[in-house]
Amino acid sequence: MLYNDWYARVLNYCAVVSTAVPIGPLGNVSSYTDPYWVMELPRIIEDSENRIFKDTDLLAWRVTDRTGVLVPNQRQWALPLNAFNQTFRKVEQINIVGTSSDPVPADVRQVIDIYSRAYVDWAWPSNSTYNGMPKVAAMENTNTVIFGPAPDQGYSVEVIGPQTQQPLSITNQGTFLSMMLPDLWFAATMVNAMAFQRDLGSMSENPQASVNWEQRYQNILKSAQVEEAGRWYRSAGWTSQNPTPVSTPPRV
């Protein structure tokens, strides 16, 4: 589902007229040129994308960033940002990647063990003593990693983890969510769109609207989570296959 299709569909489902003239009693809804609606639209997209990411742990948002370079004698290191100024939502793996001048051969990865901050501070307490190729690391905060030992040279770093991707917009017509999980995506956005229409609470004009979309979202989410587990090879028997409850014998 491309952005334009999604947008038209949202307007239809919200009964937003495609004129600039608000109508009553849905006048609160506004038209698609209403500045409040236009202002809210990116928030609806952002909230929905975030929600689906947290509910499904999308493999599609995994990024391998090899732009990082450590600073000699500096154990703290800021995680790289992507083109949208987003850093990693969480760090899942860090590799030191050898270059021709490194102790490890070129293009060879040295996987960094992730420890607690206390452990790294204790085992490798200095920026300038016993420097070398880092072996361990700990998260200092959401944006900074501490390595031990502190690097003795500018090692290349590879960071793997999920990053927030460029959101759906008129200039970015298709995202993984809109193209691969369009049903889930649409349900998530409709929950937020209904909320914007003041249909989220019991005193609202259409109190069931948002609830219904939420139920629909939850139902679709279950199947989406199964499919996502397959992408990770974490589905039935740690394969990519969907569970087969009627097969005998079942997968392990």
Partner 1 sequence: MEFFGSYNPSGTYNFFPSSAELIASAYARIQVRRTEIEPSQIADAIAELNYFLSAFNDAGPNLAQVDMQSLALETTKPTYPLPPETVMITDMFLNYAAGGSTNDAYLYPISRTEYAAIPNKTLPGRPNQYWLDRQQVPQVTFFPVPDGNGPYIVKYFRFRQVQDAVGAFGATPEVPNRALDAIIAGLAYRLARIYRPELEDKRKIDAGEAWSIYAKQDTENVPLFIQPGLAAYWRQ
Which residues of the chain form contacts with partner 1 (CB under 8 A)? 113-116, 118-119, 122-126, 129-130, 138, 149
Question: CA angle at residue 13 from 11 to 18, to 5 degrees?
Answer: 30
Interaxial angle between packed helices 3-13 and 182-196, expressed in degrees from 0 to 180 and rounded to the nearest 10: 50
Minimal distance, residue 115 CB to partner 1, in Å: 5
If you compute the radius of gyration of the chain from its CA atoms, what whole number of angstroms results? 24
Q: Which is nearer to partner 1, 151 or 165 (CB)?
A: 151
Q: Which is nearer to partner 1, 128 or 143 (CB)?
A: 128
Minimal distance, residue 125 CB to partner 1, in Å: 6
Q: Which is nearer to partner 1, 69 or 114 (CB)?
A: 114
H-type alpha helices, the chain: 3-13, 35-56, 117-123, 176-180, 182-196, 207-231
Q: Which is nearer to partner 1, 116 or 166 (CB)?
A: 116
Minimal distance, residue 142 CB to partner 1, in Å: 15
Minimal distance, residue 116 CB to partner 1, in Å: 5
Minimal distance, residue 118 CB to partner 1, in Å: 5
Q: What six digits make up the tokens of 128?
A: 């300038």
Q: Which is nearer to partner 1, 21 or 118 (CB)?
A: 118
Quote the distance between the C-alpha of residue 33 and its chain's center: 30
Minimal distance, residue 231 CB to partner 1, in Å: 23
CA-CA-CA-CA torsion for 15, 19, 22, 24, nearest 10 degrees?
A: -50
| Bond from prior residue into 42 cis (ω within 30 degrees of 0) | no
Q: Which is nearer to partner 1, 8 or 123 (CB)?
A: 123
Contacts of 169 (CB under 8 A, 6+ apart): 3, 42, 45
The rounded distance, in Å, linking the Cα atoms of 197 and 205 is: 9
SS3 content of the chain, % helix, strand, coil (to 5): 35, 15, 45
